[in-house]
Structure 1
């Protein structure tokens, strides 16, 4: 089915076929359902290197740099994804750890508006009926480190999601662009 879709989209070289995929750090049907033959049909794989959260384990970052390294290593080296098709995903939001995930995810912009620092990866915030809980996100230093790493080993980065970013010098997307020498 993906071959037929790829063939249809590539007529006249008008369209790309992309897929957002699991970070690949946990074994199981979601990861293992992505067959290696798809590498032949999909133009870019946006690897979602985020949402590694736990509702029962507190103080856990949902998108640490170590996850980016493990994820790209899995897809590029273990599975053999072509480097030119590998795009690392970076979150523009934060998640708590150790509590329910219902209405507790916040945009990066909202985290900053509650006093979070663009130079940190965690902040104490209020959301979803919870007061003074710690939310984990990627601040500018982590995003810069991830952007530099992706530039070395992959073919790009993508953000989930552009509209959640700050619209000033605290921008995560601007930090990544500055790191890789691109204009924002």
Structure 2
């Protein structure tokens, strides 16, 4: 080998080592469970009284806070009686036993007109604030979440701003949390009618906002929805990323089936986002495990937390989305958030390939190619691995194929045929890394999708 080739290879080696170390565990992010919620990445959920619920099924150990939905205001500022006050008390007791905060959600989708009327009348505003603060005397609450869907641009928006400023003052004096729910958007640079009614001064009163990135017609909650919504609320409206908490649905549209019911019908539904029915009304579009993981990764990168609508209908056990969100956050904290969001994820036949420190983590190389640990990838697709240390050639055999990987060479050999690559396999910490597409496609698989915003590959 000539000197120039040796220098070139040494430089490439150093760059690959540098890139790979970005994926190794180095730091912890916001892991103190006792710190105030607005200084950490949050895992929250709405709880709605209308669903038949066994509180034993709620994963309190996987949540930072729960919002009980809803207490509904009358136009005069008083509240409609709660449907299940004893349920609220038991929920609060169980949540607090797990150090989980509980907020009362005020409003709901059908209360916009009542909000509009009460916010325009001085006496109604006084009654509303008194009624709200009275909730803290009746229930051991930690905060309030406002669900006004939504004030209109103009006088309605001004009245909303004034009301929220007054209520915020009362809540902050008691050290309580104050949040609200807002709509997602279809474009990163433009809001919709239901977002424009919240003035900047109004939004400033809240500790954080819940961005409702679900119920987008029959598609419900595609991956791009929270992505563009986070861009809008941060770049256009100026909300800091740590105050943006994105929402995910635990239900399907247009069938309105719950995630729990879909999984009960077919456990494999946990790993996909659509189940077809007998007709269009029975089609179920929702978010399964893989999409929820991607959205959590998006929020770790550009947001301040995750919440679900609603936790009552989550599935139990290994298919729990509440547990998945929490465990994904903890994985990011252990690895270091920037390392985690930059680490590629590979989904093979709808299951994540669990790369770890012992197998090595995927990374993006200097040629902008996704590199995956060779042994773990090969064994996942049913192949066996061997290594020729003298000639530095790794080999995978199985499924009627033999794939040879010359280390440091811009090619691989498949069943005796040399195939050129635009990058090359490398060794780091005694592990061989191979370009993802080159390996999987020559092993008889197909890269079905690549999501660049979350660095996630779907292989089948």
User: Do Structure 1 and Structure 2 share a fold, with TM-score over 0.5?
Assistant: yes
| RMSD, aligned CA | 1.9
Contact 1:25 1:74 in 2 (8 A): no
2:197 — aligned with what? 33
- Counterpart pick for 1:22 among 183, 192, 199: 183
SS in 1 for 2:282: strand
1:47 — aligned with what? 211
Question: Is there any run of 5+ residues in structure 2 with no aligned partner, and where?
Answer: 1-162, 332-460
Structure 1 residue 79: Cα displacement: 1.1
Distance 1:113 1:120, change over 3 A: same
Contact 1:147 1:157 in 2 (8 A): yes
1:122 — aligned with what? 274
Given the two structures, how large is their TM-score scaled by the length of structure 1? 0.82
CA distance in 2, matches of 1:161, 1:121: 17
- Counterpart pick for 2:242 among 79, 84, 89: 84
SS in 2 for 1:46: strand
SS in 2 for 1:117: helix
2:256 — aligned with what? 105
Structure 1 residue 125: Cα displacement: 4.2
Structure 1 residue 178 and structure 2 residue 327: aligned?
A: yes
Structure 1 residue 38: Cα displacement: 1.9
How many residue pairs were aligned?
Answer: 165
| 1:60-110 deviation line (CA, Å, top 9, x unaligned) | x210111110111110111111222111111111112xxxxxxx3111001
Distance 1:173 1:147, change over 3 A: same
SS in 2 for 1:18: strand
Structure 1 residue 152: Cα displacement: 1.2
RCO (CA 8 Å, sep 6+): is it higher in 1 or 2?
A: 1
Structure 1 residue 134 and structure 2 residue 283: aligned?
A: yes
Structure 1 residue 158 and structure 2 residue 307: aligned?
A: yes
Contact 1:90 1:159 in 2 (8 A): yes
Structure 1 residue 133: Cα displacement: 3.1
Larger radius of gyration: 2
Given the two structures, how large is their TM-score scaled by the length of structure 2? 0.34
